[in-house]
Amino acid sequence: MIQLVLFLLGVDYLRRRWLTLAVAGGIWLVIGVSVFIDALDGVLYFPIHVFAWLLLIEGLATLAVARMGVGGQRTLRYVKGGAFTLAALLIMAGNHHGNFVLSMIFGTLFLADGLLQSVSAVVVRYSRWRIVLALAIVEILLAIFFFEPYPTHYVGTAPYAIGLGLAFGGWNMLWIAFRVRRMESLPPENEKALALSDDVIADPTLADKSATAKAAAGAVATEADSPFEWDGPPAADEKALTVHVWTPVGSARAQANRRLIVDRYIAAVDANGVISTGHAALESPEGIYISLYPGVELDRSPDEFGRILRATRENNVPGTFQPDYATESKAWCESTTRVRIRNYRPDRLKAFWEKYRQDPTYNLTYRNCSSTVSKALEAALEGSVGTFHGRDTGWRAFLRLIVTPELWVAAQIRKRAATMAWTPGLTLDYARALSMLADPRPFGYLKMARLAVRKMLRSRREWRQEASDAADARAGRMDSSSAS
């Protein structure tokens, strides 16, 4: 999640604040290690109940706004809110049974994630799969650590988890802060992108001080009075970046056999046994259309699908980029779903596209339509939050990102796709989450509060009107009786 925050804020934003970032990362790291060590002897000095109350508030707030999400966003919100609330209640219980249940939950989560990543690494064989396999083994060892009672008989479960989270988050912040600081001394001809994750993030160039960049900044200066947040997606006639997604079920040639989760995020199998994986494309108002498709039809029968799933060179095939959406939709069908984003960087997207299009290689797992769109989307959004319409948003942008529920949603989707494969379903949910971060919306908590207040005021007006109507009716009856 830390890497996603820093990616959205951008390199320029980070270079101006690298020292603060490094100090914060160091503090997080020290606190995390201290909390973990403090819990080893069973005597805890960390204010765990204060943390539990904060966890409970966050969990309940997330559950309150979960229904506002769409698709996978809503599910992940409910999962996060429920998990946080349950963990807070177990911590507050403060007895052996609560600590035991909490240990089993953490152990199961680490074990499931470790097994999932290890299996996907061995099966898919994507870039750096051996490193991910090693990290998955570490997760499995951590699961065993949570399962067994030594050394505190489950008393230190919550502090262990808190300490590990703070320590890893602090380490990531330190690593990125010092990496950004070193970039300040690079000569212009050697400037490189801040590649936070080589297998997911695109190759956006660092913002330079050339005349071209200044001209681009001047072009967006007229948007300085644009609102910082919008209450809803862009209108149909509004300038926006568009992510087109053809879901596996929606793009199947025949009636698909529905399978929960599988046909949403992986593939759908129609009545004839043919597998449909869906498709994704990206379209910008500047005329860029990014849609990678295999140049030769792949054998997607169930017998061959397992073989072509591997991200190895022998499964590379020549690919082709579709010219535009009109041509592609006419040859196939209209996209199932669209996600539109106002706040993006056309210059970053153009730089990415000019480099990426030089290699038309297609691989079903590591270089497919979905991974291409996800990389292009990240290239277009790199730094868009830190410099909103050319304006430095300051620490407000950082604080807003931290408390936005979609940040956690996007981080989970991105992690899963990076260690497995990008699919149209994951790209759809990722684009939806990023749209909420790039185009700031009113906070769900505040929005719900405003709706509640408006409903109360409307109900009060209705009650007053009913009371007034009743009084008028009584007065009319009294006048009639007096006249008689």
Euclidean distance between the first and final Cα of the chain, in Å?
A: 80
Q: Is residue 292 domain-shared with residue 379, that is, in the same domain? A: yes
- For residue 191, being part of any structural domain is answered with no
User: What residues contact residue 207 under an 8 Å CB cut-off, 6+ apart?
Assistant: 10, 11, 12, 213, 383
The answer to whether the CB of 362 falls within 8 A of the CB of 202 is no
- For residue 289, being part of any structural domain is answered with yes
Q: Is residue 457 domain-shared with residue 411, that is, in the same domain? A: no
Structurally, the chain folds into a number of domains equal to 3
Q: What is the pLDDT of residue 224?
A: 44
Q: Is residue 177 domain-shared with residue 244, that is, in the same domain? A: no
Each residue's pLDDT expressed in tens, for the chain with a length of 484 residues:
777 877 788 877 777 888 888 898 899 899 888 888 887 776 667 777 788 888 888 888 878 777 765 555 677 778 778 888 888 888 887 766 777 888 888 888 889 888 888 887 777 777 777 888 888 899 899 889 888 887 777 777 778 888 888 888 888 888 888 877 776 433 333 333 333 333 333 333 333 333 343 344 444 434 444 555 666 678 778 889 999 998 876 555 555 555 656 666 666 665 556 566 788 999 999 999 999 988 877 655 555 566 666 666 777 888 899 999 999 888 888 888 899 998 888 988 999 999 999 988 888 778 889 999 999 999 899 888 877 655 666 777 777 777 777 888 888 888 888 777 788 888 998 998 898 888 876 655 555 555 556 666 777 777 777 777 777 776 766 666 555 5
- For residue 188, being part of any structural domain is answered with no
- For residue 46, being part of any structural domain is answered with yes
Domain termination site, one of 423, 438, 453: 438
H or E stretch including 267? none
Output the CA torsion sign for 442, 446, 447, 450: negative
Q: Is residue 330 domain-shared with residue 395, that is, in the same domain? A: yes
For residue 416, how far is the Cα from the chain centroid? 10
Domain termination site, one of 166, 183, 200: 183
The answer to whether the CB of 4 falls within 8 A of the CB of 197 is no
Q: Is residue 95 domain-shared with residue 123, that is, in the same domain? A: yes
Q: What is the pLDDT of residue 372?
A: 93
Q: What is the pLDDT of residue 210?
A: 35
* CA pair distance 102, 157, nearest whole angstrom: 7
Written as one string, the DSSP assignment of 273-342 is S-EE--EEEEE-TTS-EE-EEESS----SHHHHHHHTS-SGGG-EEEEE-S-HHHHHHHS---SEEEEES
Q: Is residue 454 domain-shared with residue 381, that is, in the same domain? A: no
* CA pair distance 370, 365, nearest whole angstrom: 9
The answer to whether the CB of 204 falls within 8 A of the CB of 415 is no
What Rg value do the Cα atoms of the chain yield, rounded?
26
Q: Is residue 380 domain-shared with residue 271, that is, in the same domain? A: yes
Place of tokens 């397992």: 306
Burial class of 261 by CB neighbour count within 10 A (0 to 12, 13 to 18, 19+): exposed
* CB-facing half-sphere around the CA of 96: CA atoms within 13 A: 3
The answer to whether the CB of 245 falls within 8 A of the CB of 427 is yes
User: What residues contact residue 19 under an 8 Å CB cut-off, 6+ apart?
Assistant: 177, 181
pTM score, two decimals?
0.71
Q: Which domain holds residue 59?
A: 2-183
Q: Is residue 140 domain-shared with residue 249, that is, in the same domain? A: no
The answer to whether the CB of 441 falls within 8 A of the CB of 69 is no
- For residue 19, being part of any structural domain is answered with yes
- For residue 229, being part of any structural domain is answered with no
Domain termination site, one of 143, 168, 183: 183
Q: Is residue 431 domain-shared with residue 470, that is, in the same domain? A: no
- For residue 421, being part of any structural domain is answered with yes
User: What residues contact residue 236 under an 8 Å CB cut-off, 6+ apart?
Assistant: none
The answer to whether the CB of 205 falls within 8 A of the CB of 348 is yes
Q: Is residue 172 domain-shared with residue 297, that is, in the same domain? A: no
Q: Is residue 413 domain-shared with residue 456, that is, in the same domain? A: no
Q: Is residue 338 domain-shared with residue 323, that is, in the same domain? A: yes
- For residue 193, being part of any structural domain is answered with no
Amino acid at 258: R
Taking the CA atoms of residue 204, residue 210, residue 215 and residue 218 in that order, the dihedral angle to the nearest 10 degrees is 80
| 212 to 184, 217, 241, 379: CA distances (angstroms) | 20, 9, 22, 18
- Long-range contacts (CB closer than 8 Å, 24 or more residues apart) made by 80-84: 80/405, 80/408, 80/409, 83/59, 84/55, 84/56, 84/58, 84/59
